[in-house]
Amino acid sequence: MKTYLSTAYIRRKSLAVALLCAAATSAWGQTGNTMQNPIVVGTYSAGFQYTNSQNIANFTNTYTARAANDIFYKFTLTKSMSVVMSHCGSAVDTYLHLLDASGNRIDYNDDYSGEGACSSNLHSYLKKNLAAGTYYVVSETYSATSGVIQTTIKGFVGDNMQAPIDVGTFSAGFQYTNSQNIANFTNTYTARTANDIFYKFTLTKSMSVVMSHCGSAVDTYLHLLDASGNRIDYNDDYSGEGACSSTLHSYLKKNLAAGTYYVVSETYSATSGVIQTTIKGIVGDNMQAPIDVGTFSAGFQYTNSQNIENFTNSYTGRSTNDIFYKFTLTKSMSVVINHCGSAVDTYLHLLDASGNRIDYNDDYSGEGACSSTLHSYLKKNWRQAPTMWYRKPTTRQVG
C-alpha cells in the first residue's frame, strides 16, 4: 500500500532539516570556532590586557586534543613578553591550551592553585615567557557542553629577565625614567620575595651610571645585574651624595664597562605602589668614563660645554664637581687647555695616564689669557708624545 505524505507534513520536515543545517552552518562559521577563523585579539609591542566571554554551546569541537567544544583566540607579539592566560570569572570548569603559529601545543592547564590563581582553582591559569611571534589560546570546558568561559590574555613587559623593559643602547650620556605599579608584576627575581620590574640597558662605551627610585610612592630596593643575571651590586636605603629626598628610595652609582645590564626594581615589602625608576648614564664623570676627545698626530682643536651640576665630585684634589676629558698624542705637541667662554669661575687640572697631576691652573692673566682672568688657562710643551692625558675642570660660582 502506498503512503502519501501531506504537503503540510513535507513542509514541516523540510523546515526542520533547514533549521538543523542552519544551526550547523552557524556553529562552523562562528568566529573563534577554528584555528583558521579565530577571534583576533591583536598585535602588541607593549603590555596589554584582553578579556572576552563566550558560551561554549555556540562552538564545536575542532581541537582534537580533548572532546569538549573549544574557542580559538589569536594574538601576535612583536617583542618578547611574559603572557598570562586565564579563565578567571568563568561559569564552568575549564581547560586551556597554548599553541604556536603552526598549531603545535606549547603548554596547557586544567586546574591551578599557585601564584596568581583565579578564585576557583577549577579555572585554568597559564603564564609563559613568549618570544615575538603569533600564538593561539584554545579555551574549552572540562566536560560541560554549555556555559560561559571568560578568557583573559595579559601581556607584561618587564616582568622578568627574558622580557624586560628595554631602555635602549647608548654611546653617549642619557637619562631614562619610567613609573610602574608593582601590583602589576610578579616575583621572578628570587633574591627577595617582593614583586619586581626588570629594565635592560646596553652601553657601547664605558660610563658612570646612576640608578635610582627617587619620586617613588613606596620603600624600594634596587639590584644591578650583568648580562648573565649575576648581581653586581644592590641598594636598599641611601643617604649619601646624590640621595633622593627620601632615604627609603634606593640609589646606586657604578662605573660600568661597555656591555648589557639589568636593573631590578622592587619594593621592600609592599605588594602595591608606584616605583619610579631612573637610569642615567654620564660620560665624563670620572677617569674611568671620560669624554674621549680623540687621538692626534697633527694639530687639532676641540671645544665642549657641560653644566657642572650634571656631574659629581670624583677627583679629590678639590671638593667641587668635575668633568673628565681624555686625549692621546702620537707625537710631541704644544697643547693649550682653557676655559674661555665659561659662565663660572673655573679650575683646571692636567693629569697623566696614571692619574698623577702634571700641572693645574686657577686664575690666569698672562699671554693668551681668556677675556676673564677667572677662567683657567694652561699651556704645555711635550718633547715626547705622551700616551694619555686627562683634563679635569672644576668650578666655583662667581659672585
Picking from 282, 300, 327, the residue at the C-terminal end of a domain is 282
Task: Indicate the pTM of the whole model.
Answer: 0.72
Q: What integer pLDDT is reported at residue 13 of this predicted model?
A: 46
Residue 125 has pLDDT above 70, yes or no: yes
Residue pair 385/330 in contact by the 8 Å Cβ criterion: yes
Residues 80 and 35 in one domain: yes
Residue with cell 657642572: 308
CATH number at residue 91: 2.60.120.380
Q: Which residues, at least 6 apart from 369, have a Cβ–Cβ distance to it below 8 Å? A: 377
pLDDT band at 386 (very low <50, low <70, confident <90, very high): low
In a domain, 231, yes or no: yes
pLDDT band at 397 (very low <50, low <70, confident <90, very high): very low
Residue pair 340/373 in contact by the 8 Å Cβ criterion: no
CATH number at residue 322: 2.60.120
pLDDT band at 184 (very low <50, low <70, confident <90, very high): confident
The dihedral sign for the CA sequence 75, 80, 81, 83: positive
Helix H or strand E encompassing 198: strand 196-203
Under DSSP, is residue 309 helix (H, G, I), strand (E, B) or coil? helix
Residues 37 and 135 in one domain: yes
Taking each continuous run of H as one helix and of E as one strand, the counts in the chain are 1, 25
Number of neighbouring beta carbons within 10 Å of residue 358 = 14
The dihedral sign for the CA sequence 117, 119, 120, 124: negative
Instruction: Give buried/exposed letters for 251-274 (b at 16+ CB in 10 A, else e).
Output: bbbeebeeeebbbbbbbeebeeee
In a domain, 325, yes or no: yes
Helix H or strand E encompassing 24: helix 7-29
Q: What integer pLDDT is reported at residue 384 of this predicted model?
A: 56
Number of neighbouring beta carbons within 10 Å of residue 379 = 15
Q: What is the mean pLDDT of residues 30-42?
A: 96
User: Partners of 160 in the beta sheet?
Assistant: 163
Q: Which residues, at least 6 apart from 175, have a Cβ–Cβ distance to it below 8 Å? A: 278, 279, 280, 281
pLDDT band at 86 (very low <50, low <70, confident <90, very high): very high
In a domain, 21, yes or no: no
The rounded distance, in Å, linking the Cα atoms of 315 and 394 is: 9
Residues 64 and 139 in one domain: yes
Q: What integer pLDDT is reported at residue 393 of this predicted model?
A: 53
Mean pLDDT of the chain: 89
| Closest to 294 in 3D by CA, of 333, 334, 338, 330 | 330
Picking from 112, 137, 156, the residue at the C-terminal end of a domain is 156
Percent of the chain at pLDDT > 90 equals 75
Single-letter residue type at 279? I
Residues 39 and 152 in one domain: yes
Residue pair 359/309 in contact by the 8 Å Cβ criterion: no
Q: What integer pLDDT is reported at residue 312 of this predicted model?
A: 86
| Domain carrying residue 390 | 291-396
In a domain, 10, yes or no: no
Residue with cell 659629581: 312
Q: Enter the C-alpha cell of residue 130.
A: 613568549
- How wide is the angle at C-alpha 340 spanned by C-alphas 339 and 343, nearest 5°? 80
The rounded distance, in Å, linking the Cα atoms of 140 and 242 is: 55
In a domain, 129, yes or no: yes
Residues 261 and 378 in one domain: no
pLDDT band at 50 (very low <50, low <70, confident <90, very high): very high
The dihedral sign for the CA sequence 160, 166, 171, 174: negative
